[in-house]
Chains A and B, each alone.
Chain A
Amino acid sequence: MSRKAEYTDKAMAPEAVVSAIRERLGDAVEVVELKDRKAGSNDAVCFHDLWLRCPKDKFLELLDILFELDFPLFHVMSGNDEGEAVLLNYHFSLFQGSGRGSRLGVAVSVYLPKDDLAMPSIQDRIPGAEYSEREMREMLGINFMGMPDESLVFLPEDWDERVKPWRRDEAGPKPEQIRELS
C-alpha cells in the first residue's frame, strides 16, 4: 500500500465511510455502532466513533480501504481474553487533520480463536504500531506475522515468556505469581 504519508484535508461524512466499506466488503465487516460524541453547552455532536467487527482474513483489506480515505493514525490496540477467543481492538483515527470536528475514530474488533492466535503485522503500513504489537505479543500471546522485532518491550529481561500476564486461562499468571498489595 503506497499512500503518501500525510493527513488529508478533505474529510468525509461518517456515513460515507460506512458505505465505502460496505461497498467493498459487503456484510463481511459488521458495523457494530456509529456513535455521536456530544459536548458543550448546546450538546452538539462534535465528532464520531465508528465501531466495526472484522474477520481476521478481511482485516488487511479493510485497512487498505481506510488508507484510501486518509492515512489512519494508529492509537493503540486493546484486547482481552474472552475464553474461547482473544479479542483484539485496533483503534484508528481518520481525518484528524481535516478541520474542526472532522475526526472519525475507527475501532476494529477482531476475534482470534485460541488455537490460532496470529494476526498479520501492520508495521509495514504503519511503523508506529510497533510498541502495540510487541505489547500484545508479550501480554496476550498473539503472534504478529512479519513483525521485525519480537523482543520484550515492557516485561523484565528475565521474564518467563510462557506467562502471558493478561490471559485469563492457563497461559496467564498463577495466583502465586501475583503479589497482593496491602
Chain B
Amino acid sequence: MAVGEAKTYKIPIGPVHVGLKEPITTWLEVDGERIVDIKVRPGAIHRGIEFMARERNPIQVIYLAERICGICSFAHIESFVRAVEDAASISVPKRAQYIRTIMLELERVHSHILWAGVACYTFGYDSAFNLGLLLREKVMDVLEAMSGNRVNYGVGTIGGVRRDITPEVAAALEDLIDYYRREFAAFYEVATEDPITKARMRHVGTLPPEDAVRYCAVGPTARASGLRVDLRWSSPYEAYADIEVTPIVPQDYMGEVYGDVFDRFLVRVLEVYQSLDIIEKALLGLPKGPLMAEPKLPKLLALLKAADGVGWSSIEAPRGDDAHVIKLTKGDENVTWWKVRAPTYANIVSWPIMFRGQEIADAPLIVNSIDPCISCMERALVVDKKSGSSEVLTKEELLKRSREKTRRLMGR
C-alpha cells in the first residue's frame, strides 16, 4: 500500500476467468494483497427454466429439470419428482427407491471426485488434478452402462425410475466399489498428508459455525464448519429410511474443526467412502418388484392433471440441500409454478464471510471450495428480442453460419 491515505481498489474476477468453471462476477475490494470486501453478481447464465416450465406438463419438466445442471442432474430430477409425488400423493415402489438412492450416491461420488481434482488444479497441483479426472472415468462408465449416458441419465421419472439394475450393472457397481476403495486412497493421502495441500488450504476461506447457521450454508460447506447436518440423516427419504447415514464432520476425524477450505476438502473426500458404503448396502438390500407406480404415460398424465396441491422436496444433493417446490392445479395439464433452489444459491451468500481478510491469490480456491454450480443456481427467464436482433445470434443464424463455414472449407 502506498504511503499516505489508505485506499482500496476494486478487482473483478469473472464473468469469465481461468479460476472459474462457470461464469459469475465477483468484485473484490482489495487493500494491497488483502481482500477487504467482495460483491457477487450472478445472472450471466440465467436461462428462464422456471418460466419455461409453466407451459409444460410435469413429465416434460423432468427433462428440463435434468438440464439445470450436468453433474447433479439426477439430484435435480429426484428433488423435482419428489415434489410432484408430494403434490399428487404418489408412492414410489421399493425397488425404485433403492435404484434412486444408488443413482444419487453415484452422482455424489462423481461430483466429489471431480471437485477434489479441480480444487487441486486451482492451486497448481496438476498431477492430483489428472488423477482425479482419471478416477472419475470409472463412475461415468458405470453410469453409462446403467443409463446409456455419461451425463443427463434420463433415469428418473414421476413415481419411479426408467432403468433397472440388471445383474450386469450390479456386477459393474460391485467392481466400481472395489476400484474406488483401492484407488481413491491416493486422494485421501493428498487430503490429509501432503504438506503443500495443507499449506494452501488450511486457514483459508474460513466460515465459522455460527456464520454457517446464520447464512444458511448447506451440505459439505455446512458440515465442514462443524455443523452436524445432512438431510439423508435428519429427514430420510427413499432408501435412506433403511440405510442409516450419519453426517461427516471434520471434528470426528481430525479432532478439531476450522471450517476452512481444507475441511471442505476433507469432508468431500470422506463422503466418497461413505457413498461407496451406501451403494454396497443398497445393492445388497435391493428389493424385487416394479419400477414405476404407473408405467402407462397417458394414465400418469391424467392422474397428474387431476392432482391439486403444492409439493415440496428438499434432498441432499452432492453440494447440499436441493429444494424444489411445485404447484399442480386440478384440470390444468401444465405445471402452474415451480421454484428451484440449488445448493449453490444458499452457499454463495456466505462468500463475503469466507473472503474477508484473505489474499487475492486464494480467491479462486475459495470460490471453488463451495463447489459452486452457477448454472444450477441460475435458472429462470425471458430473452429480450430487441437485443436478440442485433447482438445475440439465434439458433438459426448460428446454424446458417456454421454451414456456410463448412462450405467455405470444402471450397464450394
Contacts and interface: CB of A to CB of B under 8 A. Distances in A.
Contacts of A179: 382-383, 385, 388
Interface of B: 41-43, 46, 48, 50-52, 86, 91, 94, 97, 209-211, 213-218, 227-229, 231, 233-242, 244, 285, 287, 310, 312, 314, 321, 323, 325, 327, 336-337, 339, 341, 345-346, 348-350, 378, 380-385, 388, 395-396
30 contacts: A4-B210, A5-B209, A6-B210, A35-B86, A37-B235, A39-B97, A39-B240, A41-B242, A46-B237, A47-B235, A49-B86, A71-B213, A75-B314, A75-B321, A78-B337, A78-B339, A79-B339, A91-B323, A93-B314, A96-B231, A101-B236, A103-B234, A105-B312, A107-B310, A130-B349, A131-B348, A139-B380, A154-B381, A166-B380, A177-B382
B34 to A, nearest CB: 23
Interface in A100-149: 100-103, 105, 107, 126-132, 139
A16 interface: no
Range, interface on chain A: 35 or more
B380 A165 contact: yes
Contact of A154 (B97, B321, B378, B384): B378
A153 B377 CA distance: 11
Contacts of B210: 4-6
Contacts of B228: 7, 97
What is the interface of chain B mostly: helix, strand, loop, or mixed? mixed
B323 A46 contact: no
A91 B325 contact: yes
A138 B214 CA distance: 24
A152 interface: yes
| Interface core residue of A38, A99, A103 (most chain B CB under 10 Å) | A103
A59 B149 CA distance: 47
A15 interface: no
Contact of B94 (A7, A41, A89): A41
B215 A6 contact: no
Contacts of B52: 181
Contacts of B346: 75, 128
A50 B287 CA distance: 31
Given A6-B210, A179-B382, A95 B325 contact: no
Given A80-B337, A177-B382, A73 B216 contact: yes
Contacts of B349: 127-128, 130-131
